Amino acid sequence: MADLDYEGFWKETLIQLRNDLGEEEFSGWFSDMKYLRARFDEKTGENSIVIGIPSAFHRDKVKSRYQNEIILKLQKLSGTEINLELEIIGKKAEKKETSLPQPAKNTESAAEKTQKPKEKREKHPQMRDDYTFERFIIGENNNYAANAAKAISKNPGKAYNPFLIYGGVGLGKTHLMQAIGNFVHENSDHRVICITSETFLNEYIEDVRQGKMREFRNKYRKIDVLLIDDIQFLTDKPGVQDELFHTFNELQNQKKQLVFTCDRPIEDLKKFEERLISRFGLGTKADLQPPRYEERCAILKSVTQTRGVSLPDDVIDLLGKNIASNVRDLISALNNLINYAELMGKEITIEIAQKHLKNIFNAPRQANLSMDNIIRVASEYFGLTPNDLKGKKRSQNIVFARQLAMFIGREMTDNSMTEIGQDFGGRDHTTVIHSIDKIKGKLLTDPTLESTIENIKRAIKDYGAKH
């Protein structure tokens, strides 16, 4: 094949790299490269292209970060295997100048220039720049997860791999996962992908349809850190689960870091491949629980400092005691109050907070009404354990307590029948509907049952306020 043809492949490879990496990263590493020649080794029968590169430092960085990707693109474009050789150009000039004081300074400047992409890396396009460890409030209910995340960010792929963060809505799973990604992105040359499971699924479907699975696999298996949010949405999707399994294995074998979030323990996911669940079991799992009162107050103070707003202690106390569901609801209520005061030109007082947030305080979900708490309180009320309600025992007292807990869960939360069934050991939605109907029927014939339900509801709210 003619030399000109190889140069054409190289130019097309550069175009693809520019699209993949973005202008700043591409310019930092590839703008000073120069196509020199093609070479055929008669002994080995191998084809190579030789690319000029300005320094040994530059060469080593490109080889470690991009060489495999470049070779893959060249092979795909040419239809044959092409090796990449990087040759330092301007070498004689560098040697001549090293004996003089001034050129030594110039050599240092050249090295500094090659490091610019690392020093001035742009914000990662897939992550929020405010999702950092500095803005994550650590308390008793999340300190294990936070400490593991920090350790991972400093040495990705070395320990706690894979890492699964699970818990209810608004507890900081995405924040903590992206804090890992942001730290790695800002403090190393590692390539990071951070996506939702929905994005992963949609890309998979589209690339299968277009016959681009090789590109899909190269994208996700040639990186250093893979972060996937809300993997529960891959339930009952065997094709993409199979792809995730092989991607998982490939990255783990290369000692690359994997981090996932889920809204429940991985063992509770139904219609999820057992071999994939077993892979998660090889790593570290961290359960995020709703923050306690002291942590809620610390979160409120942190947000007010960030926004430059002064909030009286009695207002912080009011919010901390009345919004116990999750961090997202807590911050939302605070921002709502601050925005109202700014628009109305008023100072925030306890009276204004009580009046403006009255409806939020009275919403059932603010009593920290996770299904775990409902199951815990209901089982304790009947002298049982949470596992009794989630398990398969069919004794009369357990069945009644289970049905009542499902009924209360449906009344006190926004959870669907399917979600409630998942929380009770993976039962389907028809079981939940049957249980609710049974309790409704008993309410018509048992005048004491309504009082029992109200007592349990009160106990659930009290438990939520304390935790």
Contact 135, 302 (CB under 8 A): yes
Contact 234, 244 (CB under 8 A): yes
What pLDDT score does 173 carry? 93
- Cα 258 from Cα 281, distance rounded (Å): 13
- Cα 100 from Cα 128, distance rounded (Å): 48
- Cα 400 from Cα 388, distance rounded (Å): 11
For the whole model, what pTM was predicted? Answer: 0.54
Query: Tens-digit pLDDT profile for the chain (467 aa)?
Result: 344 457 888 888 888 888 777 776 777 788 888 888 888 777 777 888 899 988 877 787 788 778 888 888 888 777 778 889 998 885 443 333 333 333 334 444 444 444 444 455 788 999 998 899 998 888 777 888 999 999 999 999 988 899 999 987 788 899 999 999 999 999 999 999 999 999 999 999 999 999 999 999 999 999 999 999 999 889 889 999 999 999 999 999 999 999 999 988 888 777 888 999 998 888 899 988 878 888 888 889 888 888 888 889 999 988 988 887 778 888 888 988 998 888 888 889 999 888 888 877 766 555 456 888 899 999 999 999 999 999 999 899 999 999 999 999 988 887 788 889 989 998 988 899 999 999 999 988 887 888 889 889 888 877 766 65
Domain 371-466 part of CATH 3.40.50.2300: no
Contact 154, 180 (CB under 8 A): no
Q: Give rounded-to-5 percent helix, strand, coil for the chain.
A: 60, 10, 30
Q: Taking the C-alpha atoms of 293, 296, 302 and 303 in order, what is their torsion angle to the nearest 10 degrees? A: -140
Q: Write the CATH number of the domain with boundaries 3-116.
A: 3.30.300.180
What pLDDT score does 59 carry? 84
- Cα 456 from Cα 467, distance rounded (Å): 17
For the domain made up of 143-288, the CATH class stated in words is alpha beta
What pLDDT score does 97 carry? 34
Listed in order, the ranges of the chain carrying CATH 1.10.8.60 are 293-367
What pLDDT score does 128 carry? 92
Listed in order, the ranges of the chain carrying CATH 3.40.50.300 are 143-288
For the domain made up of 293-367, the CATH class stated in words is mainly alpha
Contact 56, 91 (CB under 8 A): no
Listed in order, the ranges of the chain carrying CATH 1.10.1750.10 are 371-466
